[in-house]
Amino acid sequence: MSIAGLFVLVIGVILAIALHEIGHLVPAKLFGVKVPKYFIGFGPTLFSRTFRGTEYGVKAIPLGGFVQLSGMYAPAKDGVVLTNRKGQLTLAEEARRVSAEQIEPGEEEHAFYRLSVPKKLAVMFGGPFVNLLIALALSVVLLVGIGAPALLNQVGAIPACVSASECSDADPVTPAETAGLRPGDTILSWGGTPTQSWTDVQQAISSGTASPTEVTVDRDGDTISLTVTPVMLERPVVDEDGQVVLENGEELTQVLPYVGIAPAIGLERQSITAVPGYIGDMLWRTAGVIVRLPQQLWSLTTDFVTGQERDQSSIVGIIGVAQVAGQITGADIDGYSATEKTADLINLLIALNVSLFAFNMLPLLPLDGGHITGALYEGARRRWAAMRGRPDPGPADTARLMPLSYAVAGAFILMTVILIVVDIFNPITLY
């Protein structure tokens, strides 16, 4: 693993966490909420300093962070059960009392629970929103500044023969080989049609015939004209996504001109209009991962316990992400340039911030999405009471969901432990 890759990832993770918490801190301060603490990391405190009533600091384990907002939970209303059958305070009441202890006499107006619903939403959505902004900004750098992986109008490889399976001595060489095409040639035109993308090359070949065709290429800065004579070959029909089209359960085929070239893959700069779609696609795929998370964790655990080979497309934890970053920067592969490594690292950081956004938006306490859901419920309840001419019911008693909050926190801790163990002893291997 490359130390440089690990360093880049650690800095990226710390910044993502720090800015996420600032997304909560700034609106909370703006709306007058008392904020006693802002910390990056967990465990023993390494450094802290108090400024304008807030203690800012760094803790030893940089795997998270928190902003302490005073008065998160409203006091219990009359008639609410405060103790269990054993006479002990309920989890909800313990949370309410800890919340109340953070508010000194005369500071009641600075409690979070007293904010209006829109202000609560702004405070709780601020953290995930910052991660989304980071992802958008990095996507602009990646797509517009560096480029996204794309099929180029350049020859990447030439098959050894014209064959639907393995080559034999009886199989003829490809038309590309016969014509003198070489890997690295940039195809400028095909049959008189200019080609600026691999799609242009494909369309020019498929719309042609098996007759000799003039092809112009750029080879190491020199413009060369070649004559290619395609052969007619039965090929599978593919859709716009490159998937084979099936008809009645069987591959649909058609006879098309065949040359025998595969495209090179490189970075191609995109328009800024491609950024929303890029982020949207990543959010959609992250949502799919979240939906399948229990199944994936089970498969990952059983494969590890039974000694099965790890699925290289399985989910990873923070250790796994660090390993991927190290493999990217430490890879010594022909054609894998420093620019492409940088692009892959940026893409990794984009995925990290999108994941932070998506997971924090889950409507479960103690995640931000759980508090957002509580605020929306409070607003709906107040609106319903106003419509029916009834008194304002006041803040929602989200402290009653503390048992669920502990269960969710426990599940996330268990998931983190599983991923750390599997990532260490059965890591993902990119190359």
For the record, the structure tokens of 115 come out as: 């904010």
Residues pairing with 286 in the sheet: none
For the record, the structure tokens of 51 come out as: 């400024």
CA atoms within 13 Å, Cβ hemisphere of 34: 20
Please give the C-alpha separations between residue 371 and each of 2, 168, 377, in angstroms, as whole numbers.
Answer: 39, 66, 10
Given a contact cutoff of 8 angstroms between Cβ atoms, the answer to whether 290 and 358 are in contact is yes
Phi, psi of 239 (to 5 degrees): -90, -170
Contacts from 363-369 at CB under 8 Å and sequence distance 24+? 364/404, 364/405, 364/408, 365/398, 365/401, 365/402, 365/404, 365/405, 365/408, 366/405, 366/408, 366/409, 367/408, 368/24, 368/124, 368/125, 368/127, 368/128, 369/128
Nearest Cα to Cα of residue 317 among 352, 342, 284: 352
Q: Which of 21, 177, 340, 378 is catalytic?
A: 21
Round the CA-based radius of gyration of the chain to a whole number and report it. Answer: 29
- Under DSSP, is residue 281 helix (H, G, I), strand (E, B) or coil? helix
d(CA 216, CA 33): 68
230 cis-preceded (ω within 30 degrees of 0): no
CB neighbour list of residue 70: distance below 8 Å, 6 or more residues apart:
33, 34, 35, 36, 99, 102, 103, 107, 110, 111, 112
The verdict on whether 378 is a catalytic residue reads no
- Residues recognised as catalytic: 21
